[in-house]
Chains A and B, each alone.
Chain A
Amino acid sequence: MSEEKNDNLREELIRYYDGAERVAKIVDEEVPYPDGKLIVSRTDVKGFITHVNQAFVDMSGYTREELIGANHNILRHPDMPAIAFKGLWDTVEKGEKWQGFVKNLRKDGTYYWVKATVIPNIRNGQLLGYTSVRRKPSRSKIRESEALYATLM
């Protein structure tokens, strides 16, 4: 990490839905979404990661080994309001598609914005897990989301 990044480094407590907590290092620096790529992951029904593509690995800053089996909230950024994820889970648990803008936390504390779509994986009528596919969001949608999420914290 460069000197400059260290200057911006701070620590923040993240409180998860299930009551768990962790102190994460946060660096207010955006990593641009890679053009032309989709960032893909899958989880089991509880939200534990079962599959990630290379773009996911590259953007998250974690290794594939660190990601598989981890709770997907490993990417949760403290600037994201809990209610956004409640909306996500309420929607997909009903068997519906969820779409939204998400600020994700990288392992190094920096962040990246995505437009995410999450759908349930149904096989022979049974829910197997969920798939999320992210694409590049526009700057205007990022600004709108930042303003909205700030009011929901």
Chain B
Amino acid sequence: MPLNLTVSPDFAPDHISGWFYFNTYLQRKLGIPIHLELYDSFAKQREDIRNGKVDLIYANPYDASMLVREMGFKALTRPMQKTDETVIAVSAQSSVNSVEELQPGAILATTDDPDVHTMGMIMLEPADLDESNIQLKTLKNYVLVAKSLLKGEADVGFFLKQGYDELSTLIRSEMKVLVSSQIGVIHHVLLAGPAFAQYQEALTSALLTMSEDPKGRSVLQNMGLVGWEEMSEEDSEFMIDLIDTLID
């Protein structure tokens, strides 16, 4: 039975091939078969995690708590220079210029990205908005969030900052950013499950040297990453504690 690798469903579509190259790269380095399974929904992925069908995962920070504290996963590495930040934007035509001006009943365009949605909701609290007094529209991706703002189908939208920055200049010029988070300590993390224990050391060293090897560098580039940084157990526990304070 090959071990199973999966990726947080919020990966950018442009990077799908990068994750397949990454899988090939790891199999060569470790000399074991690994199967890559991609998901288009967090719910389905979580169900498979709970059923023990995942051994290695590039996880959304929001899911790290369940993986580490309930499923016995261990954080190995984090992507270098890459933290998850959230942008709240409105249409450039909107009369709203700050979060505090948003009103109950507002239509919110969001995605199922759990960390971005959680941070976004926290940044709406200064306006006394929560899920009980706004209308949620959960969309497939950030392009659709932007479109619903431009078409006037939503009053406010949540974006992963990177997703926002990757929108075309034209689309961005039609929007106005109300707030952009500067958390700095919430990020994705590569976690290995119990079945990976015997390969953990080899895997970590393969990851940490990836950016030094031309093949590894090209794989990283295709994944939209510059390299990996080691994460200690306390680093991951700290991030999980922090996220726990943000979840009700």
Contacts and interface: CB of A to CB of B under 8 A. Distances in A.
Interface in A9-37: 33, 35-37
B12 to A, nearest CB: 23
Nearest to A131: B241
Interface stretch (B25-33, B133-141, B181-189, B213-221): B181-189
B180 interface: yes
Contact of B182 (A36, A115, A119, A121): A36
B125 interface: yes
A133 B245 contact: yes
20 contacts: A35-B123, A35-B179, A36-B123, A36-B179, A36-B181, A38-B183, A42-B238, A53-B184, A53-B185, A97-B245, A117-B245, A119-B241, A119-B245, A135-B125, A136-B123, A136-B126, A138-B100, A139-B100, A140-B128, A141-B128
A47 interface: no
Interface string A114-132: 0101110101000000011
Contact of A133 (B125, B127, B128, B246): B246
Given A35-B179, A97-B244, A138 B185 contact: no
Max chain B C-beta neighbours (<10 A), residue from A123, A136, A137, A140: A136
Contacts of B246: 117, 133
Interface of B: 99-100, 122-123, 125-128, 179-185, 234, 237-238, 241-242, 244-246
Contacts of A119: 241, 244-245
Given A35-B99, A123-B237, A138-B100, 15 more contacts: A36-B179, A37-B183, A38-B242, A42-B238, A53-B185, A97-B245, A117-B245, A117-B246, A131-B238, A135-B125, A136-B125, A138-B127, A138-B128, A139-B126, A141-B128
Given A35-B179, A36-B179, A121 B237 contact: yes
A40 interface: yes
Contacts of A55: 182
Contacts of A115: 125
Contacts of A138: 100, 125-128
Q: Which 5 A-B pairs have the closest CB atoms?
A: A117-B245, A133-B245, A36-B181, A138-B128, A131-B241
Given A97-B244, A119-B244, A136-B125, A40 B180 contact: no
A37 B185 contact: no
A138 to B, nearest CB: 5
Contacts of B183: 37-38
Contacts of B182: 36-37, 55
A101 to B, nearest CB: 11
B25 to A, nearest CB: 33
Contacts of B245: 97, 117-119, 131-133
Interface string A89-123: 00000000100000000000000000101110101
Contact of B180 (A36, A132, A135): A36
Contacts of B238: 42, 131
Nearest to A130: B241
Given A36-B181, A40-B185, A139-B100, A131 B126 contact: no
A135 B242 contact: no
A35 B123 CA distance: 8
A62 to B, nearest CB: 20
Contacts of B126: 33, 136-139
Contacts of A38: 183, 242
A76 B182 CA distance: 26
